[in-house]
Amino acid sequence: MDRSQIVEQLKDLGLTSYEAKAYVANAGLGPAEPKRVATEARIPYPSAYTALKALEAKGWVEKIVSKPVTYRAKKPATVKATISSRVEDTFKELQRIYRAEPTEEAELVYTLRGSEGVLGKIYEMLRGARESVMVVTPAMGLEDAKVMELLDGAVNRGVKVRAVCDDQAQALLPPGVEARTGNQVAFDLLVDDKVALIGLPDHSACGWLDSPAVASHFKQFMELLWATSSPA
């Protein structure tokens, strides 16, 4: 696997293109200043500096010298353990939710694969929002222009919209969205406390459910993420 393939795989984990390239470059260089990382990664210096700051917030790199600013990539095994722990916790909670409903319901969690189907479901949920929307996502989950348009539309018709996401994602949010800072690896969406969706940040696959009883348990999980995240 060459570096370009590694970058693409890292993007699937929720990193932006610049973040993925900066991490790979920093991992190969060892401790390095942003300008050196930018040269190695072949990205603009300002973008490298921003990407390294974002990676530090996400736990992928650490600042070891302040003047001049120098970053060191955390060991891949350490990053993998952190991500695996977060994903495991998320799916443990989803599994608990799945079993919370009586077994007479034939199917509680519906699976969709392919960005067209997943985004179509997200569009449908956001169009139907009447009271509240809560989304938890890395920046990749908000790169679709239609998603941003529908979030803006929800705000404009009086829907309470909240988001837990990283700094980069917050810069994409339309005015009126209440945001808190958190580093996430999945795309979670709860609409009107009734319909819930959890998927990959690139929208290639998701599971969704339309059951108020089950969604109420998912809401508890989402509110916990909101309560434990930092004010934007």
**Residues 66, 53: contact at Cβ < 8 Å?**
no
Would you give the distance in Å from CA 21 to the centre of its chain?
18
| Per-residue pLDDT, 106 | 43
Q: What domains can you pick out in the chain, each with its CATH number?
A: 3-74 (1.10.10.10), 78-231 (3.30.870.10)
On the question of pLDDT at 108 being above 90, the answer is no
On the question of pLDDT at 98 being above 70, the answer is no
On the question of pLDDT at 39 being above 70, the answer is yes
On the question of pLDDT at 174 being above 70, the answer is yes
Q: Could you tell me how many residues make up the chain? A: 232
Q: Which of 80-89, 99-108, 154-163 bottoms out in mean pLDDT, i.e. has the lowest?
A: 99-108
Give the span between the Cα atoms of 60 and 72, in whole angstroms: 9
| Per-residue pLDDT, 211 | 77
- Using 50, 70 and 90 to split pLDDT, how confident is the model at 99? low
| Per-residue pLDDT, 22 | 95
Q: Which of 6-15, 59-68, 133-142 bottoms out in mean pLDDT, i.e. has the lowest?
A: 6-15
Contacts of 45 (CB under 8 A, 6+ apart): 34, 35, 38
In the chain, what percentage of residues exceed pLDDT 70? 94
On the question of pLDDT at 114 being above 50, the answer is yes
- Using 50, 70 and 90 to split pLDDT, how confident is the model at 214? confident
Question: What are the strands, taking DSSP E only, across 55-177?
Answer: 61-66, 69-73, 110-113, 132-137, 160-165
Nearest 5°: the CA angle 71, 201, 228 is 70
Beta bridge partners of 180: 164, 231
What does the pLDDT look like over 140-173, one tens digit per residue? 888 899 999 999 999 999 999 999 988 888 888 9
On the question of pLDDT at 102 being above 60, the answer is no
Q: Identify the CA nearest to 189 among candidates 149, 139, 228, 132.
A: 132
Give the span between the Cα atoms of 128 and 123, in whole angstroms: 9
Arithmetic mean of pLDDT, 76-82? 87
Arithmetic mean of pLDDT, 77-105? 71
Residue-averaged pLDDT of the chain: 87
| Per-residue pLDDT, 104 | 45
pTM, 2 dp:
0.56
| Per-residue pLDDT, 220 | 83
Cα–Cα distances (Å) from 104 to 99, 107, 108, 110, in that order, read: 11, 9, 10, 16
3-state secondary structure of 224: helix
